[in-house]
Structure 1
Amino acid sequence: MRDLLHGLDVIDDADVLRGLSHDEAEWAPFGTAVAAVRPRDTDDVRRVVAACAQRRVPIVPRGAGTGLSGGANAVDGALILDLSRMNRIIGIDTENMTATVQPGVVNDDLKAAVAGHGLWYPPDPASAPWSTIGGNVATNAGGLCCLKYGVTRDYVLGLEAVVGGPAGEYGTVVRLGRRTTKGVSGYDLAGLFTGSEGTFGVITEITVRLRPARPAAPRTVVGAFPSLVAAGEAVAATTRAGLLPAALELLDHACLRAVEEWKHLGLESGAAALLLAQLDTPGPAGDEEAAAVAGAFRAAGALWAEQSTDEVEAEALFAARRLAYPAFERLGPVLTEDVCVPRSRVPEMLSLIEAIAARHGATIATIAHAGDGNLHPMILAPAGDEGARRAAQAAFEDMLTAAIGMGGTVTGEHGVGLLKRAGMRRELSPAVLAMQVAVKQTLDPLNLFNPGKVVG
């Protein structure tokens, strides 16, 4: 391969390759890559794809490696395409409120850049300080604000990608989508690539829509609850009342304790769970909305519910939500769930999570984008405890089955990757699975792009 990759940044150090060969998904298998390449532009990617097709070498794209489903894990003999150095913001169009970036741009860096122009890029996964826009597009990432403002797909206008086809056509550069607000010329191929986890080609450029900057200090309503189920009832009550916070997040006591022991943010709560609502409606209407949310919390059984008047306190609470996963991970290997259920069934799903934990003797802490039904139970298994590992994996599968039974999905935003393939097959009908396989075979007949992921 080196003869075909002359002049590119090729890495073959075994230790470095091992670090690049997997994401953050616990116990997701990964193989041994033959090399990695760090391209700097689309032409570098085109050369890599053409060379790999010539030698039938699988290609595994990766961004920052923050994924939690094994979607960036290498297969034996693969070449890792590390896109982290393709990190240039190509342009910010203030008149049309769009930005065009390379895939290695970090989410928070894009937010900061457009904020300087009075604009905002809403998708905000908890990994936003580290995860890249390319990775966010690959998994159709959501985040805290997606309840009101939508997920990554809602902001992707157009893509440039290096794709396959018949063997001689691997390395073709195409532009998908558009730069206009509207456009229905042909199939929505940019939408098809968004959430495809790198299985259709390598995304090399992304054009996203932006919004005007948010109010400087959104209101925060905090509710403390005696049980997880009571917090879930408050989520359902908020939805029934027609209220739409920008974010509605849940943290259970175990998560709060783990964050406090690590970061000492001054968080103290004897409650079983907290709900954090962030509201950005300006003016008196925003005050009324905050009061209504607090009222819905109290009516659902909150121990207390109040609008925070301390911006530092409010920021600490949302910082705790973002830090919950790494804080819990410090205690040992963590298998993280990503199920999503209809909002009206959040209380039932939270109750089932507690029952599943008890049935398997598993230690589970729960955070959630509760407002849109996307739950992230985190299952702890101390290092070296094989029994705890088996219990965690059994609980993981039981939660997938429970979500499907409620009309939900096995993954709201982390992607299928490796960990959710069996669950996806239980969720989708044979006819739909066959359609997905047909699309993959058409776009990647050599099965070179991230093989083994999603449809296998």
Structure 2
Amino acid sequence: MLELEEELIDIVGAENVLADPLVLEQYSKDMSFVPPMRPRCVVKPKNSDEIQKIIKLANKTLTPLVVVSSGPPHFRGDTVPSVGGAVIVDLSRMNKIIRIDRRNRVVLVEPGVTFPTLIQALAKEDLAPLLPLLPRSTKSVLASALETDPIITPKYHWDVQDPLRCVEVIFGNGELFRTGDAVGPGDLEEQWKVSKAQSRGLGPANVDFTKLIQRVQGTLGIVTWASIECRPLPKAKEAFIIPSEDLESLIEFAYKILWRRLGAVCLILNNCNFACILREDGRSIERLRENLPPWLLIFTIETSGLYPDKKLECQRAELVDLTRFFGLEPLSTVSGVSAEEVMKLLHGEEPSAYESYWKLRLKGGCQELFFTTTLNRAQKFVKKAFELAGLHKFAAKDIGIYIQPIVQGTSCHCEFDLYYNPQNPEETEQVKNFFQEMSRALIKMGAFFARPYPIVRDITVPYIAAPYIITSRKIKGIFDPSNIMNPGKLYFV
């Protein structure tokens, strides 16, 4: 046994240091086009003390660390080592829900807590999480918040940071740091005794260090817990599917509904992604897709507090008036699919929501290309994607599209999911070329890649202002001076 592995065993125990070739092979790659790189070993800490010791050891030995908190499958290349000799820090053992604060609607979670676990725990306290679109069963709640995955309920999305509040992070220099309300005075137990909640990200002098560690792919430090905003569990709810032959009418309607702050869930899918969510296998997906209109807006009304039924009735009446104004119709069933069934899936209330990951159902593989823009510009990006699909002879019907209003509708998450068979080398190469060409074309049109994962990162470098890259590297030098935290990611050397 090598000296580094022996020291890691002293920290976490022999059973939590893995060096089996088959295990290392699993961590060496994901479903992205990032080249595989086998790590040196995998270490599984249980608490922040062990993490701090691992980081200090890595600084002493100049060992690269790559953090993994979600289980497979991975899609974005951020958990694949960029350099040899890296140690994977797998946080799956840190899976405690530390505290649920019903009054302040905040939950403190460790990195290994997944969405199915959190949904069940919060329901007992009449709370519900702010969910992204059907996360896989192994997805870390904390990782999703750090990556700023868009939530499907834009009325609760006031800032790009939401629903993340406070964090405890151990930076690459080995220092433990807490943000926002968690700073103190006192430790967490002492704060709870005086009814203080970790519900505000801003710390002393209104500085928000929480935002500093979002979207950085583990290149600055390791987050050991975070406080996440929740919402009340609705007492009355109703779902609608609003179909349309064109995207423009749905976008105009979405602007109006968001401006009035009506409803809860509000998102737009094309028929391909809608079918992938509702059906379990490729043939069933294709049959449903053929019978669906091109575009569907999913909308729910969910009320709580006093007079929930009366609130629902008023919002329903306003919804009907608005849809009539735009020449649309809110339906309870479309092509045999009930809106209530869709709502239960989106909220994780149906077991089938987590039986298999919906992006792998159609063909077994998916490449995600997503960026931030505004709702009124989404249609031109969709048009360009279909044009490029024709040039690359990629079937337009196999492009899934997801448009999610964020930050109260002031902008949106626009996502193209390219479905393909990863066992077919020719099809895989076709998707890779299409993915790269579309990335170049969309950034030239103004797409903002706020989360430049590998492959996209390499394409966007020429379009990033030099001062931004210089500043990012200075920040990296402050918090991770030895460059041990996931080196080679983002725009860091």
User: Do both proteins adopt the same fold according to a TM-score greater than 0.5, normalized to the shorter chain?
Assistant: yes
Give the superposition deviation at 1:382.
Answer: 3.2
Q: Which residue of 1 aligns with 2:453?
A: 417
**1:238 touches 1:293 (CA, 8 Å); kept in 2?**
no
- The alpha-carbon deviation at position 42 of structure 1 amounts to 0.8
Matches within 5 A, 1:226-237: 226=245, 230-237=246-253
Separation of aligned partners in 1, 2:425 and 2:45: 40
Aligned to 2:41: 35
CA deviation after TM superposition for structure 1 residue 180, in Å: 4.8
Q: Give 1:357's aligned amino acid.
A: A
Letter in 2 for 1:283: L
Pair 1:392–1:273, CA change in 2 (3 A): same
Inter-CA distance 236–409: structure 2 relative to 1 (3 Å threshold): farther
Kindly tell me: are residues 98 and 385 of structure 1, through their superposed partners in 2, closer, same or farther at Cα, counting changes over 3 Å?
closer
Correspondence list, 1:335-350, <5 A:
335-350=367-382
CA separation of 1:103/1:256 partners in 2, compared to 1, >3 Å: closer, same or farther? closer
The answer to whether the 8 Å contact 1:223/1:274 transfers is yes
- Residue of structure 2 in register with 1:446 after alignment: 482
AA of the residue aligned to 1:129: S
CA contact 1:332–1:383 (8 Å) conserved in 2: yes
Cα shift at 1:81: 0.5
Name the structure 1 match of 2:88.
80
Aligned equivalents of 2:322, 2:440: Cα separation in 1: 32
Q: Bigger shift: 244-253 or 315-324?
A: 315-324
Matched, 1:362 2:394: yes
In structure 2, the residue matched to 1:176 is: 179
Return the letter of the residue paired with 1:83: L
Tell me if 1:352 matches 2:384.
yes
**How does the TM-score come out when normalised to structure 2?**
0.79
Give the counterpart of 1:5 among 8, 21, 30: 8
| Poorly superposed stretches of 4+, deviation over 6 Å | 309-312, 319-325
Closer, same or farther: CA 129–224 of 1 in aligned 2, 3 Å:
same
Distance in 2 between the 1:365 and 1:133 partners?
27
The answer to whether the 8 Å contact 1:31/1:73 transfers is yes
CA displacement at 1:21 relative to structure 2: 3.4
* Same amino acid, percent of matched pairs: 20
Structure 1 residue aligned with 2:165:
157
Paired position in structure 1 for 2:313: 284
2:179–2:202 Cα contact (<8 Å) kept:
no
Deviations 1:383-407 (A, max 9, x none): 4544433432333234334443443
CA contact (8 A) 1:159 1:206 kept: yes
> For 1:147 and 1:426, how far apart are their aligned partners in 2?
36
The 3 A distance-change label for structure 1 pair 425 and 289 is farther
Q: Deviations over 1:296-346 (max 9, x none)?
A: 6635xxxxx323179982243357777896355551432221123211112
Q: Is the 8 A contact 2:179 2:201 kept in 1?
A: no
Contact 1:59 1:449 in 2 (8 A): yes
CA contact (8 A) 1:410 1:423 kept: no
Is 1:108 matched with 2:116? Answer: yes
Determine if contact 1:235/1:370 at 8 Å carries over to the other structure: no
User: In the alignment, what sits opposite 1:59?
Assistant: 65
Contact 2:33 2:432 in 1 (8 A): no
> Of 268, 272, 281, which aligns to 1:254?
272
Q: Which residue of structure 1 aligns with residue 32 of structure 2?
A: 26
Q: Could you say if the C-alpha distance between residues 213 and 198 of structure 1 is closer, same or farther in structure 2, counting changes exceeding 3 Å? A: same
The residue aligned with 1:302 is: none
- Contact residue 123 and residue 233 of structure 2 kept, 8 A: yes
Rounded to whole Å, the distance in 1 between the matches of 2:115 and 2:61 is 34
Question: SS in structure 1 opposite 2:299?
Answer: strand
Residue 270 to residue 102, structure 1, CA distance change in 2 (3 Å): closer
Do structure 1's residue 429 and structure 2's residue 458 form an aligned pair? Answer: no
Kindly provide the amino acid, as one letter, of the partner of residue 212 in structure 1.
P
Residues 164-313 of structure 1 aligned to structure 2 (within 5 Å): 164-165=172-173, 171-178=174-181, 179-181=198-200, 183-186=202-205, 187-217=207-237, 219-226=238-245, 230-240=246-256, 242-244=259-261, 245-258=263-276, 259-260=278-279, 262=281, 269-280=291-302, 282-295=311-324, 298=327, 305-308=329-332, 313=338
Alignment pair present for 1:314 and 2:322: no
Matches of 2:123 and 2:275, distance apart in 1: 33
Code of the aligned partner of 1:314 = A
In the alignment, residue 467 of structure 2 is paired with which amino acid? Answer: A
Aligned to 2:33, the other structure's residue is in SS state: coil
Instruction: Give the alignment of 1:329-408 within 5 angstroms.
Output: 330-363=362-395, 364-372=398-406, 373-383=412-422, 385-408=424-447
Shift in alpha-carbon separation, 1:366–1:232, aligned structure 2, 3 A: farther
Tell me the TM-score normalised to structure 1 length: 0.85
Match of 1:307, SS state, is: coil
Query: What CA RMSD, in Å, does the superposition of the two structures yield over aligned residues?
Result: 3.1
Q: Do the aligned partners of 1:100 and 1:205 also contact (CA within 8 Å) in 2?
A: yes
Compute the displacement of 1:448 (Å).
Answer: 0.6
Distance in 2, matches of 1:315 and 1:18, equals 42
Shift of 1:175: 1.6
Which one of the candidate residues 110, 134, 137 is aligned to 1:129?
137
- Return 322-331 or 426-435, whichever deviates more: 322-331
Number of matched residues?
A: 438
Counterpart code for 2:387 = A
Amino acid at match of 1:250: I
Cα shift at 1:100: 1.6
The verdict on how the C-alpha distance between 1:271 and 1:285 changes in structure 2, with shifts beyond 3 A counting, is same
After superposition, the C-alpha distances for 1:246-268 in whole angstroms (9 at most, x for unaligned) are: 33333333345555362969957
User: Given that residues 145 and 163 in structure 2 are in contact (C-alpha distance below 8 angstroms), is that contact kept between their aligned partners in structure 1?
Assistant: no
Q: Which amino acid aligns with 1:429?
A: A
Asked whether the equivalents of residues 143 and 369 of structure 1 are also in contact (C-alpha less than 8 Å), the reply is: no
Matched residue of 2:455: which SS?
coil
For residue 53 of structure 1, report the CA deviation from its aligned partner.
1.5
Letter of the structure 1 residue corresponding to residue 242 of structure 2 = G
Cα deviation, residue 349, structure 1: 1.6
